[in-house]
Amino acid sequence: MAGKSKPKPEQVGRASELRELLARHNRHYYELDEPLIPDAEYDRLFRELLALESEFPELVASDSPTRRVGGAVSGGFAEVVHGMPMLSLDNAFSDQDVLDFDRRVRERLGTDVVVYCAEPKLDGVAISLVYENGRLLVAATRGDGAIGEDVTHNVRTIASVPLELRGSGLPRRIEVRGEVYMPRQGFLELNRRAQKSGEKAFVNPRNAAAGSLRQLDPAIAARRPLEMYAYGIGQASGGELPDRHSATLQRLREWGLRTSPEAALVSGAEGCLVYYRVLEARRDALPFDIDGVVYKVDDYGCQQQLGFVARAPRWAIAHKFPAEEQLSQVEAIDVQVGRTGAMTPVARLTPVFVGGVTVSNATLHNFAELKRKDVRIGDTVTVRRAGDVIPEIVSVVLARRPPGAAEVAVPAVCPVCGSEVVQAEGQVIVRCSGGLVCPAQRKQALRHFASRRAMDISGLGDQLVEQLVDSGMVKTAADLYCLDQMHLSALERMGDRSAARLIQAIDASRKTTLPRFLYALGIPEVGDATSRLLAREFGSLDKLAAASEEELQAVPDIGPVMAAGIAAFFRQRDNQQVIADLRKAGVGWDESAETARGSQPLRGRSFVLTGTLAGMSRDEAKARIESLGGKVTGSVSSRTSYVVCGEDPGSKLARATALGVQVLDEQGFLALLEQQA
């Protein structure tokens, strides 16, 4: 159009910069599976480039990320918050593990025999399908269990996933959970086509399925031979569901979903083990890969009675098949220093194909294990992928040991910073004493400090942490709060806008909660759940820091090793100084929101949340309850104290009414909190 303005030089440069940035982030996200920025930041960059190209069409390049063909999901994959966490399962690796699992279940239920539903454990990708009024609404990966990736466009191309459920008795909204996999024959054909066209072949069917689901272009996923089996239901509202898992599988089949034809009801541990042996013998003849079997207590009432522990249900377990083993040679033994200072010997191996992947490194766990197995440089060793996940050295082939192979001793000093190496009495873990002065610990500690469940500093990715530490700008977490925009913008690939956003994110993180702060400190053995527990039990940072090992061990689930680690952490002057510097920099939380042990009015009372609250999010409601000593659970039982009901409640309200559990509306819930505060 005549008179249309031309892009300014800075706009031309910015468009080029955005294309490079987005291409780089695409590679890290889709190929390396290590995103450098949150999805929201990627979306912002994408929209900025799209706006420039829309205003100035001459800026459009043929390789622009905005010009991907085939209905690509704009800006990568959106996040999907799972209404109910997609938990992992505990593993059993032996018959005795299964016998122990069955014994624990029987003891908790007070019965002699338990009926289980046994199913193959497909080696695929867990998927969540949300149907509303029978129509597929959202498909998401499991992600971290709480938040997954929206892969709806790709899942719609899978022929075995119905876009609309059929049959009667459909809930208004239902979440179906299952496994997306690639049949062996389809995998072989896919690799044949890849090799013929000169493309890179996939290592195994699982990687092929995962890679297919995470394609930007659904047309690519449509060409991949993906299948899905449903294995259960997450959440449902507006309908009645069966009271047994096996009946649920039947109902899913009636609605048009595929479930494993190998699923069967078995009685007791012996029935589980017979099923395992039969399926193990047929493993190679199945048209898809499996890495074990799963046993689930069939009765849902019993499942609710058993509940959960940590991130796994007590009512199910995965019985893994024996891992594949191969021989390799130890070329070197290095020492890795973790963010807590723990030093781990790692064997560098001659690359070997084990369990579907090429293995070149194997952990030796600790120096006591290294000595027990007597692994030496030059040894020929048996390598196994334990649980089909972690490569490990099983044993040494002594007959092939080269002459003069010497034992590997515990290093006297840290290989990274040269600090003294220490080992607590009675402990197998060897640690670097350098603490926050050790670069290895410093970078990992900063990454952990900034992570989403810790201080949640958006934009502080791995590469930026590397630059900040290597440049000397940041030595401890407290130094983050002294950064200024001018110095940040001078860093490579930073720029004024990115620097301003990071400063804003750092400032926003000053206001946090005590559990998040404790988790961010990276105290050895203290994870997310333990941080919440400690905050709830002690109520303040000062009281926790002053607690003795005996007082710490009095807290449920805190054993002597963890108690010693927590006490030692708060005794160290370096740690005390960093905490003091953080508080001086303005990092803090509402002290009144934390209630000290012994003065928790809701201790012993359990709550279930259902529906949407107008005045607060579900996370905020949970935090308020836990700060007063209460417990929030996911299912209603006769032992539930209160069901808090917001707008559009699910089936939990009906169950609460049937069981006679007290129901609180939002006003009543707030009144209870005010009364107890």
User: Reduced to 3 states, what is the DSSP secondary structure of residue 421?
Assistant: strand
Give residues with Cβ within 8 angstroms of 140, minimum separation 6.
Answer: 80, 82, 127, 128, 130, 148, 149, 150, 151, 152
Identify any residues that bridge with 292 across adjacent strands, giving them in sequence order: 320
Least confident of 137-141, 316-320, 504-508, 612-616: 612-616
Say if residue 473 is in the same domain as residue 549. no
For residues 28 and 133, membership in a common domain is answered with: no
pLDDT at residue 322, as a whole number: 75
pLDDT above 70: residue 203: no
Nearest residue to 38 (alpha-carbon basis) of 616, 457, 648:
457
CATH number of the domain at 498, please: 1.10.150.20
Q: Are residues 449 and 528 in the same domain?
A: no
Instruction: Read off the tokens for 229.
Output: 């089996």
Residues 312 and 332 in one domain: no
What confidence score (pLDDT) does residue 19 get?
85
Whether the predicted pLDDT of 492 surpasses 90 = no
| pLDDT for position 559 | 82
Domain-located, residue 601: no
Q: What's the rounded Cα separation, in Å, for the pair 490 and 605? A: 54
Condensed to tens digits (0 to 9), the pLDDT of residues 208-250 reads: 888 888 887 788 888 889 999 999 999 999 888 999 999 999 9
Rounded mean pLDDT, 668-675:
87
> Is 539 part of any domain?
yes
Q: What is the mean pLDDT of the chain?
A: 85
In this prediction, residue 462 has a pLDDT band, given cuts at 50, 70 and 90, of confident
* pLDDT of residue 33 exceeding 50: no
Looking at the fold, whether 498 and 526 belong to one and the same domain comes out as no
Do 115 and 212 sit in the same domain of this protein?
A: yes
Q: Are residues 106 and 188 in the same domain?
A: yes
Are 138 and 270 members of one domain? Answer: yes
Spatial neighbors of 298 by CB under 8 A, at least 6 apart, are: 115, 116, 117, 244, 245, 246, 265
Q: What is the mean pLDDT of residues 555-581?
A: 83
Composition of the chain by helix, strand, coil, percent to 5: 40, 20, 40
Q: Round to the nearest angstrom and report the end-to-end CA distance of the chain.
A: 67
Please provide residue 232's backbone torsions phi and psi, each rounded to the nearest 5 degrees.
Answer: 170, -175
- Does 307 fall in a domain? yes
Q: What is the pLDDT of residue 425?
A: 65
- Lowest mean pLDDT segment, chosen from 157-171, 497-511, 612-626: 612-626
pLDDT confidence bin for 355, thresholds 50/70/90: low
Query: Are the C-beta atoms of residues 250 and 244 closer than 8 Å to each other?
Result: no
Same domain, 101 and 198: yes
The answer, yes or no, to whether residue 274 has pLDDT greater than 60, is yes
Decide which of 518 and 69 is more confident: 518
Q: Which residue has the higher pLDDT, 317 or 25?
A: 317
**Is residue 6 flagged as an active site residue?**
no
Q: How far is CA 663 from CA 240, 304, 652, 653, in A?
A: 20, 19, 10, 8
Among residues 400, 418, 449, the one where a domain terminates is: 400
What pLDDT does residue 36 have? 55
Q: What is the model's pLDDT at position 2? A: 45
- pLDDT tens readout for residues 387-430: 556 788 888 888 889 998 988 999 988 998 887 787 766 678 88
Q: Is residue 74 a part of any domain in this protein?
A: no
Q: Given this model, what pLDDT does residue 75 score?
A: 42
Strands (DSSP E) found in 36-153: 79-81, 91-92, 115-122, 125-132, 135-141, 147-149
Residue 18, domain CATH: 1.10.287.610
Across 38-52, 164-178, 393-407, 474-488, least confident range: 38-52
Is residue 406 within 8 A of residue 374, CB to CB? The reply is no
Question: Which of the pair, 286 or 536, is modelled with greater confidence?
Answer: 286
**Domain that residue 103 falls in:** 91-318
Last residue of a domain, one of 294, 318, 342: 318
448 and 302 both lie in a single domain: no
Residue 39 banded pLDDT, cuts 50, 70, 90: very low
Average pLDDT over residues 45-71: 71
User: Which stretch of 23-27, 148-152, 526-530, 628-632 has the lowest confidence by average pLDDT?
Assistant: 23-27
State the pLDDT at residue 436. 57
Ranked by mean pLDDT, which of 93-102, 321-330, 493-502, 590-599 comes out on top?
Answer: 93-102
Q: What is the pLDDT of residue 259?
A: 96
Out of 508, 537, 561, a domain closes at: 508
Residue 229: give its domain's CATH number. Answer: 3.30.470.30
Residue 239: per-residue pLDDT: 83
Q: Let me know if residue 421 belongs to a domain.
A: no
The pLDDT value given to residue 197: 83
Mean pLDDT, to the nearest integer, of 18-44? 60
Q: Say yes or no: 671 and 647 in one domain.
A: yes
What is the reported pLDDT for 599? 57
Phi-psi region of 236 (alpha: psi -120 to 50; beta: other; left: phi over 0): beta
Residue 599 lies in a domain: no
Let me know whether 160 and 209 are in one domain: yes
Catalytic residue among 6, 8, 121, 622: 121
Domain count, the chain: 6
CATH of the domain at 386: 2.40.50.140
